[in-house]
A and B are shown apart, each in its own frame.
Chain A
């Protein structure tokens, strides 16, 4: 039987790191196929046992992701063609969700009214500021 999903894709699913369409496909497949749920549980067990995979380390450390500044240059069209082509590949073929989010945010900043962003930020601040504790958020080593 041909495997519908690669091991690396199942790992990325567990980390909420696959392109959204593929996340949805795996969710549907898990509901239909208990063996797939078992495969995912086996990956969790393998991780708990301390086995690493190159893909998850690569993804977690964002080793080939562009910086925010590089995405800005990408939008401005000032990167070399080869570098820009690679970033398009990283977005569209690898499907990096974090880079997609950064690019979407940069595009939105160009279009969104300042008021809308300020209102949202004020709401986040008001709902979270109570957790700010002078000296209480220091790192515990």
Chain B
């Protein structure tokens, strides 16, 4: 009767990989390293206080890998993405993109933000043309590329619409192709679907995987949603908060291609259980130690449960 709970008793370890999944990881690791983060440190100075946001972060991603970064709030996952993007200065360590150190923002790293950052004064097409034009492509060339990219996400009909005329999901699709139009080596995504409703988010996740399959791009995807991370990622970098440091780098044993049905598969549940252990066992410092015991204010006999 209880089909969802019963596998939990006999869950495999999240470390168990089927032969095909193992073979896939073997192949992935054969690829060249795109991004390498070594001993990354970030310290924020605030009113004379020093807050360590990131401490000794080490990881690397391979070409065309889909890496998710996950962690409780305050673990510095957004800061990590912003440092890789070059929007934030690092306090120590190294960030190497194809063996070249990252210094400031660059077109080799595209970024999609959580908020809608489309330029409201530009039409959808001109938003996508922004990157190519900023990098010296002619208007015609940029326009040709933009239309191609919009066709990829099925928005060519909205080329001349303004961002405010689009739904949230459409806006993020435009934001993704706007970042891709520069043909970056990696795409950084900082909780890009956080503001979307659950249904749209699901559709966007599948859509993103579809895009990722079609083009040569490595994705670093920041999220706090465990299921989103498992559904999307090849590997998941789990950060622990205060200070943010790497807890574990998990190889997701869920086979590809992914589908929504896999959410109840044993591999998926095993990975989710492991992530929950890692993330929710850590004390939530920013929410206070615990909730206080409650005093009953309703009538003793008037019970709701």
Q: Do A and B come from one complex?
A: no
| Chain B interface (Cβ < 8 Å from any Cβ of A) | none
